[in-house]
Structure 1
Amino acid sequence: MWRNSERPVQVLPSNALLSLEDVVPPSGVVAVARLDGAAMVDVDGVFEQFSDALRFPSYFGWNWPALSECLSDLHWLPARRYLIIIENAPCILRENVDGRAVLFSILAEVGRRWANSYEPDDYGMGPLLHATLLCDEQDAESLEQEIASAHTASTANRSAIRKPTSRSPS
């Protein structure tokens, strides 16, 4: 999970056996936040879980841009790397497909930002923020597909933002 080739959001069956090398980062202080997807059935539950587990500052705005901003910063929680573990992941915003896609997209985008750190000491260190979604084995494949879809959408949105638009003269 800490290799450069790894995606910043990963789905694992709760009963998965992992090697120590896969779980423990190479070095440094790691902040671990455990969230419960069963408490994230609505958007407020999502914000509450992230805010409590990562000790968001009082100015956290309880909306998607604020979540992205706080996950991109985390200066109030000093660590070399961040691991977010979400148990009961299939329960996350189960009735809110759009909100779920937004959350997964934010996690993928923020993880990419952390992985592309411009700090010289962090170059080549792999993902500095990693989210692991835990689920039953039968739910893993569909969650992986959702994450991949959110990752693709996030990449497409980023490309669209950077692409210059051509305007014809009026």
Structure 2
Amino acid sequence: MTDFDITGTSEPWVVFVPQGDAEVRRQLARLEAKGGHVHRFDSRDLVTERGIYAAFAEVLQFHGYFGWNWDAMVDCLDDLCGAVTGGVGIAAVIDEADRLLEVEHFPLFVSVLCQGADRANSAVDLDGFPLDRPAIAEHFVLEFREFDAEKIARLVSQPDLTVTTGDGFVGAALNPDEWH
């Protein structure tokens, strides 16, 4: 039994796991069987902020109005089209995420992913009013060749996130005391 489910709309939004984790593979297959989509990213494309914006805009088909900044990325992650989500949800998998641990923007990047996923996984807007769309399962999986849960948790920990550790994974979601 794991403490995360990337096929549904529950936290954590970002999951850090060893490369090739069997449970993640099962959950990705289940998401696709339900009609959701799995999108893969090469971490080499994500070592700069500009690279993140370009890779996410291309892979997740961000709208033309994407503003190429962190706030715009949160907005676009909340507003993914049906072609990207299958109307069900997505899991974005970042391969060999080890190289991201040392980049300056890594903690902010994780926070932005959590912010976008928190909004997409909700059926209400920021003011608590029902949206005109169902919640969409949206999760981000960072896979590591050399998985060090303590190091990952230490680097991701920040006041706006709740970081959890489990058997073979680290999870991150928005800290409700800071965001809700």
TM-score of Structure 1 vs Structure 2, range by shorter chain: 0.7 to 0.9
Report the secondary structure of 1:82's partner residue: strand
Matches within 5 A, 1:106-117: 106-117=112-123
Structure 2 residue 41 is the aligned partner of structure 1 residue 10: no
Identify the match of residue 152 of structure 2 among 132, 139, 143: 143
Give the percent of matched residue pairs that are identical in Structure 1 and Structure 2.
24
Partner of 2:91: 83
TM-score with structure 2 setting the length: 0.70
User: What is the root-mean-square deviation in Å for CA atoms of aligned residues?
Assistant: 3.0
4+ runs of 1 displaced by more than 6 Å?
Answer: none
The structure number with the bigger radius of gyration is 1
Of 2-11 and 49-58, more deviation after overlay is shown by: 2-11
CA-CA distance at 1:20 after TM superposition: 6.2
- 1:130 offset after TM fit, Å? 0.8
Q: How does 1:1-170 map to 2 (within 5 A)?
A: 1=5, 2=7, 6-18=11-23, 21-23=26-28, 24-25=30-31, 28-75=34-81, 77=83, 78-79=85-86, 80-92=88-100, 94-96=102-104, 99-118=105-124, 128-149=137-158, 151-152=161-162, 154-155=174-175, 156-159=177-180
Q: Name structure 2 gaps, 5 residues minimum.
A: 125-130, 163-172
**Which runs of no fewer than 5 residues in structure 1 stay unpaired?**
160-170
TM-score by length of 1: 0.73
Q: How many residues align?
A: 154
Amino acid in structure 2 at the alignment position of 1:13: P
Structure (1/2) with the larger helix percentage? 1
Structure 1 counterpart of 2:161, one-letter code = H
Q: 1:93 to 1:139 in 2, by over 3 A?
A: closer
Query: Contact conserved, 1:109 with 1:151, CA < 8 A, in 2?
Result: no
